[in-house]
Structure 1
Amino acid sequence: MAMTLRLPDDLQEALKETAEREGRSMQAVAIEAVRVYTTERTRRRDETIARLVRDHRETLSRLA
């Protein structure tokens, strides 16, 4: 799916510098950043839910 991404000037410059330094396109760097961000958020969410279930197992059992 195509989309337009408008970045503030400082982020645009940081993206450009990173892409040049890594010899990659700005698009490739942005795609990787979104992939890492979404994967990390999902992992942290799953860990938080698992910890809550583990720590509050008795309470959850009584509520069931």
Structure 2
Amino acid sequence: MSEITWDEPFCGEGNSCFRLGTDPDGNAYIAIAGAEDVYLVDSREALRTMILDIKAGKADHLL
């Protein structure tokens, strides 16, 4: 498995903090800040689409 490079935590309102990560193989990762050993993985494009949808208010209940 490739090493994951994690970005700085992103925190919304309350306790909704998460981190985004990438690896050299083109995969993207999302995890709850402080629990990076349990994560979701998908393509960078899928993760980018999800984040843009959240920012657009389409899925703000996820945060």
TM-score computed with the length of structure 1 as normaliser: 0.32
Name the structure with the higher helix share.
1
Please tell me whether Structure 1 or Structure 2 has the larger radius of gyration of its CA atoms.
1
TM-score computed with the length of structure 2 as normaliser: 0.32
